[in-house]
Amino acid sequence: MISPGDKLLCTTGNTFYSAGNTYVVGDIVNDKYFQLFTGYNDEHWYASLNHEKIYVSFNSATTVYNDAWFDKLNNKKSA
């Protein structure tokens, strides 16, 4: 389950997301898509959660970018 404010660790990056960096989840769009901020101003792309894999797909007819892949960090604070 992904919630706004969760942090995701980029495991495979590209031009917009760097491997090893963390990124913050924005608004939930629907049961498949949610915003994932790039860390630059309010820029974001739409990420998807599919079979427990989190990714931002970059399908473009004019430019080829690799998809970015993420792992959810443990966002719960310990007591």
Domain ranges of the chain: 7-72
39 contacts 33 by C-beta, under 8 angstroms: no
Residue 41's contacts (CB-CB under 8 Å, 6 or more residues apart) are none
pLDDT of residue 23: 97
Model pTM?
Answer: 0.84
What is the mean pLDDT of the segment spanning 1-30? 94
Instruction: Give the β-pairing of 53-56 and 44-50.
Output: antiparallel
Is residue 79 very low, low, confident or very high in pLDDT (cuts 50, 70, 90)?
very low
pLDDT digits (tens, 9 = 90+) for 18-77: 999 999 999 999 988 999 999 888 899 999 988 779 999 887 666 677 899 999 987 655
Give alpha helix (H) positions in the chain: none
45 contacts 60 by C-beta, under 8 angstroms: no
Query: Tokens standing for 28?
Result: 């939930």
